[in-house]
Structure 1
Amino acid sequence: MTATAEGPPETDTVHDTQTVSRGVVGGRWIGHWEPEDPGFWARTGRAIANRNLWASIFVEHIGFSVWTLWAVFVLFMGPEYGVDAAGKFFLGATATLVGAILRVPYTFAVARFGGRNWTIVSALLLLIPTVAAAFLVQPGTSYATFVVLAALAGFGGGNFASSMTNINAFFPEGRKGAALGLNAGGGNLGVALIQLIALLIIATAGAGHPKLLLAVYIPLIVISAVVAAIWMDNISSVTGDKGAFFLALKERHTGIMSVLYIGTFGSFIGYAFAFGLVLQTQFGRTPLQATAVTFIGPLIGSFIRPLGGMLADRLGGARVSSVNFLLMAVSALICIGATALNSLGLFTTGFILLFVFSGIGNGSTYKMIPAIFRRQALERVAAGADESAALQHARRISGGAIGLISAVGALGGLLINLAFRSSFAATKTGTPAFWAFLAFYLLCAAITFAVYQRRAAGVRI
């Protein structure tokens, strides 16, 4: 049944989708959405959810590319730009910080405007940092201007939170891990692709033409907005749920999972910004030599992220995450040993392993979020609460938590860039930073085991 109307949708008693037009921006709205109902999911839910997922992946992919634009630009910035290694690390940290902060309002935007509508707007906002860079990225531009341009690239970082919050609402509990893993992994691929395109530009045109990147991405931004407009939908039950964020803010599990996500996604995005600069600064790699390697880590980490979600669906997110943090600690130890041996090959291997395990951890920790709140809901049901109301509350709070956790987790990228900046300033190597990372990963493994795995009972997390 399809209808066009203003105001809240009528109750749909036949479990079909109902489309209405409403809200500040307008657009297609699905009035009834019940993915946990097997009949609804088989009849209409699966096809609609998958269509929205693939469109979301493309738009988020472009957002990640724009967010990490300055991880690539700094590789083009030779002595004529007058920016040293510490200044370049700070540009990456600036983009990371702004992207992390924007994830909070971007999560609210899904509830205010609808997932489809906000995806269109957020895609078009990416034109601001790219068009500005097209005019201003050149020798002679002041460092303060570069900092402002890097901050504007943070628009791309906010896209992740709104995209994940939106897609979380489309899928049933048993499929969230795979769906969120695909959505995030496809988005994360934007980090690798922009570095690969930079490699092609440097190899063919030289390191003096960074603006060729923008000639590729500005048209893609416009295309991504069109894709969202044509293939995505809004879900009315998610609209106007402003209290979900504040409910999540009061939950202790939101804070705990934020720390764990700093360890996984914060590592991924932080290393994506820093990898090329570390190779240039510590091992004297040229821009071409650095870019020939740097795209590999984000590429593998992005492709493997859905595996983390799938393993979490099958084995439990807590079990996968706790083991994964231990493997991240081992990878950091490899980088420390490689630095002592001055082995570029071993160092590159350790760094790429950090991407691999941060990718798996991204998927497994994200899967834990809805599972934690679902277990809380079922515990309330066992105590006599209404099952439908309890599960709806769990979906609300997990949506709010996803936005908050993704924002705090992204701050890990800021911390990693600042740690490298301090480490290289003090010792000319990244060794002190890697020791700090190793200790943090061990802490995350202990937290995951103690809070979510050792005490697991009833519904597995």
Structure 2
Amino acid sequence: MTAPSKAPATSSRGGRWIERWDPEDETFWKEGGERIANRNLFFSVLSEHIGFSVWTMWSVLVLFMGPEYGLTPADKFLLTSMVTLVGAVVRVPYTFAVAIFGGRNWTIISASLLLVPTVAAFVVMEPGTSFSTFLLVGLLAGIGGGNFASSMTNINAFFPLRRKGWALGLNAGGGNIGVPVIQLIALAIIGAGGGPRLLLGIYIPLILVAAALSAVYMDNLSSVKNDTGAAKDAARDAHTWIMSFLYVGTFGSFIGYSFAFGMVLQNEFGRTPLQAAYLTFLGPLLGSLIRPVGGWLADRYGGARISLYNYVGMGAATAVLIVAGVQELLPLFVTAFVVLFMLSGLGNGSTFKMIPGIFQAKALAKGLQGEEAAAYGRRLSGASMGLIGAVGALGGVGINLAFRQSFLSAGSGTGAFVSFLVFYAACFAVTWAVYLRRPAGAQAQATAATEAKPQMSYAEV
């Protein structure tokens, strides 16, 4: 008599539903789970990638908007701030959407929705359009930021804990690359003398392709659907908000600088749109590529430890930026900015790896074991990721508003960089105090505790 197969069980109801999913089971993983998870990861990256491009398209569209558009630098910073804000806010409902509609189904819907801001921008992008119209159309582009939350929530459910750092880093990094890709395309168009409508026209068919491929190749997990209560439970957990604060320091920096880098170069160093475009893509590109490395390092050495050292590096790079800005040293300024982008990407990977580790540790502390503990961790970590991603993206709003105020009051970005340096120091302190600090006597208490009562430990998350 042969043992029953542990391969993934599909549903008879159609629509590419998978009824049984247990990635922590090694046999299940080898008999088909890994193949299915990787396939969903690939097409999730594609859709999220285009979502990031649409979300950040105004960071390059403003480079096309010369004096004939009648916008001041403060107008442009306000415009990009509001786009970032919408992208942060919609991440919350996008997190719920996976549980309501299913991961595959929502990926199709969310990819298709990207047509709305892209077509709208195509219609209004010309001199003579009012600032209020540009602001309204820019707000529509914010929906592209929501794709990250639903994608990360969905992919988190597909992979075992031992692979989450790499998988989530690859998923997010592939999405983040949408930022430098649209900047590179814009650079090519500006260099060739083309206009912003050509850039937008390129993305309309790409959106349709992403939606179609998601429909054909992705899957829904029945275990994730209809668990909307998970987000409420995650919202009640203090670690969701602690990690949100830390993610403001990493992803908030990445997305905020992605919107602001070109405008800072134009306003502080007098670069032309073409000169700025030649430089702006470097930071987001390297920051995106290194994000999976941050996840891999966190898998190997612990996300809290990598994040702690990363905040030190971000603070050091920011200090160099302050000096370079005051001394007007453009090469040093650009180099330090690119390094800061890379560190923000590395920190994105390490902080997100901490999330499933934290909830797994809580499950073990509750006395849960095996698949029960893994299911608890997947449920709450998946739900919390959307909330953490939403709050983290608000950091991008803060960065653009800080730059706007700094340029209005002092004519440079130095004041903004000083405030960022202080914030990175706070992130370092919180990471150490909550996840790495060993209070006096803790070791003795752990030794005295009985084996029947598991001890809470986050040192390895």
Matched residue SS, 1:357 = helix
Which of 399, 417, 433 aligns to 2:400? It is: 417
Partner of 1:19: 10
User: Which residue of 2 is the match for residue 37 of structure 1?
Assistant: 25
**Deviation of residue 353 (structure 1)?**
1.0
Match of 2:460 in 1: 460
- Give the drift of 1:374: 0.3
Which secondary structure state, in structure 1, belongs to the residue aligned with residue 90 of structure 2?
helix
Question: CA separation in 2, counterparts of 1:67 and 1:192?
Answer: 12
Offset of 1:21 from its aligned partner?
Answer: 5.8
In 2, distance between residues paired with 1:387 and 1:366? Answer: 22
Contact 1:15 1:32 in 2 (8 A): no
Deviations 1:374-403 (A, max 9, x none): 01111122xxx4554333222111111111
| Change beyond 3 A, Cα 1:203–1:167 | same
1:285 is the counterpart of 2:271 = yes
Kindly state the Cα deviation for residue 231 of structure 1 after the two structures are TM-superposed: 1.1
Residue from 80, 83, 87 that aligns with 1:92: 80
* Alpha carbons 2:322, 2:418 under 8 Å: kept: yes
Letter in 2 for 1:79: P
Say whether 1:265 aligns with 2:256: no
Partner residue in 2 for 1:369: 355
Per-residue CA deviation, residues 308-328 of structure 1 (Å, 9 max, x unaligned), is 000000000000000000100
How far apart are the structure 1 equivalents of 2:4 and 2:227?
A: 23
Contact 1:378–1:391, Cα closer than 8 Å, also in 2: no
Q: Which of the numbers 399, 402, 414 marks the counterpart of 2:385? A: 402
Is 1:338 matched up with 2:321?
Answer: no
Supply the AA of the counterpart residue of 1:171: F
Show the counterpart of 1:6: none
Worse-matched range after superposition: 387-396 or 313-322: 387-396
Contact (CA 8 Å) 1:177, 1:366: kept in 2 or not? Answer: yes
The alignment of Structure 1 onto Structure 2 pairs a total of residues equal to 442
Separation (CA, whole Å) in 2 of partners of 1:337 and 1:433: 13
After TM superposition, give the deviation of residue 215 of structure 1 in Å.
1.4
Specify the code of the residue in structure 1 equivalent to 2:430: I
* Uncovered stretches (5+) of structure 1, i.e. residues with no partner: 1-11
Give 1:351's aligned residue: 337
Aligned partners of 1:325, 1:179: CA distance in 2, in Å?
A: 23
Q: Which of 110, 116, 131 is the matching residue for 1:122? A: 110
Where 1:238 maps in the other structure, the secondary structure is coil
Distance 2:62 2:109 in 1: 28
Pick closer, same or farther for the CA change 1:96–1:386 going to 2, 3 Å: same
| CA distance in 1: counterparts of 2:306 and 2:350, whole angstroms | 6
Shift of 1:20: 2.1
- Classify 1:156/1:21 alpha carbon distance in 2 versus 1 (closer, same or farther; 3 Å): farther
Cα distance per residue 1:228-247 (max 9 Å; x no partner) = 11110000000000111010
Counterpart amino acid of residue 6 in structure 2: H
The equivalent position to 2:160 in structure 1, one of 162, 169, 172, is: 172
Q: Once superposed, what is the RMSD of the aligned Cα atoms?
A: 1.3
Q: Counterparts of 1:280 and 1:458 in 2: how far apart (Å)?
A: 44
Alignment of 1:241 with 2:227, yes or no, is yes
Identity %: 60
Q: TM-score when scaled to structure 2? A: 0.94
TM-aligned CA distance change 1:354 to 1:386, over 3 Å: closer
Residue 16 (structure 1) shift: 2.3
Give secondary structure in 1 for the equivalent of 2:20.
coil
Q: 1:328 to 1:386 in 2, by over 3 A?
A: closer
Alignment partners' CA distance in 2, 1:280 and 1:327: 26
CA deviations over 1:85-108 (Å, ceiling 9, x no partner): 000011111110001000010011
Gaps of 5+ in 2: 439-455
Using the alignment, how far apart are the partners of 2:369 and 2:190 within structure 1? Answer: 61
1:398 maps to amino acid: S
Preserved contact between residue 360 and residue 377 of structure 2 (Cα < 8 Å): yes
Per-residue CA deviations over 1:206-265 (Å, capped at 9, x if unaligned) read 5xx111101110110001001111110000000000111010001000010000000000
Q: Is the 8 A contact 2:436 2:458 kept in 1?
A: no
Match of 2:423 in 1: 440
Aligned partners of 2:23 and 2:29 also within 8 Å? yes
Distance in 1 between residues matched to 2:201 and 2:137, nearest whole Å: 17
Tell me what 2:451 maps to.
none
C-alpha displacement of 1:301? 0.2
Secondary structure of the 2:349 match is helix
Matches within 5 A, 1:43-58: 43-58=31-46
Indicate the SS of the match to 1:154: helix
| CA distance in structure 1 between the partners assigned to 2:390 and 2:263 by the alignment | 24
Which residue of structure 1 lines up, in the alignment, with residue 295 of structure 2?
309
Judge conservation of contact 1:99–1:156 (CA < 8 Å) in 2: yes
Query: Aligned partner of 2:110: which letter?
Result: S
Change (3 A) 1:440 1:137: same
Distance in 1, matches of 2:179 and 2:459, equals 35
Superposition deviation, residue 450 in structure 1:
1.2
Structure 2 CA distance for aligned equivalents of residues 300 and 405 of structure 1: 23
Change in CA separation of 1:459 and 1:13 when aligned onto 2, cut-off 3 Å: farther
What is the match of residue 346 of structure 2? 360
Equivalent residue, structure 2, for 1:214: 200
| Equivalent pair of 2:11/2:18 in contact (CA under 8 Å) | yes
How far apart in 1 are the matches of 2:61 and 2:362?
Answer: 46
- Compute the TM-score of the two structures, normalised by the length of structure 1: 0.94
Aligned residue number for residue 450 of structure 2: none
For residues 326 and 163 of structure 2, what CA distance do their matches in structure 1 show? 44
User: What CA distance in whole angstroms lies between the structure 1 residues aligned with 2:278 and 2:6?
Assistant: 52
Q: Say whether residues 1:426 and 2:409 are aligned partners.
A: yes
**Structure 1 residue identity aligned to 2:301:** L
* Amino acid in the other structure paired with 1:408: V
